Amino acid sequence: METRPDGAPLMVCKYCILSEMGHCRKERPLEHEPRYLQSANGVRLRLVFDCQRCEMQVWENA
Ligand SMILES: [Zn+2]
């Protein structure tokens, strides 16, 4: 049986899409940003940005 520790993100990206859009928090701290991602199968995923390291975490169970 697979168990994942509570509070672990589904996925961590080594870049943030904010940076890709030119909206990285390091340059534009209060910029509007996407919070959620709708996946193809209708699951809503929550996005958390850590621009200190420019990482993006993807969480399920938003
Ligand atoms: Zn960033």
What does the pLDDT read at residue 16? 84
- Between CA 36 and CA 38 the distance in angstroms is 7
What does the pLDDT read at residue 38? 86
Give me ligand 1 centre to Cα 41, in Å.
27
Give me ligand 1 centre to Cα 33, in Å.
11
Give me ligand 1 centre to Cα 60, in Å.
21
Average pLDDT over residues 11-34: 78
* Helix %, strand %, coil % of the chain (to 5): 5, 30, 65
What does the pLDDT read at residue 36? 86
The residue type at 2:
E
- Name the band, by pLDDT with cuts 50, 70 and 90, for residue 50: confident
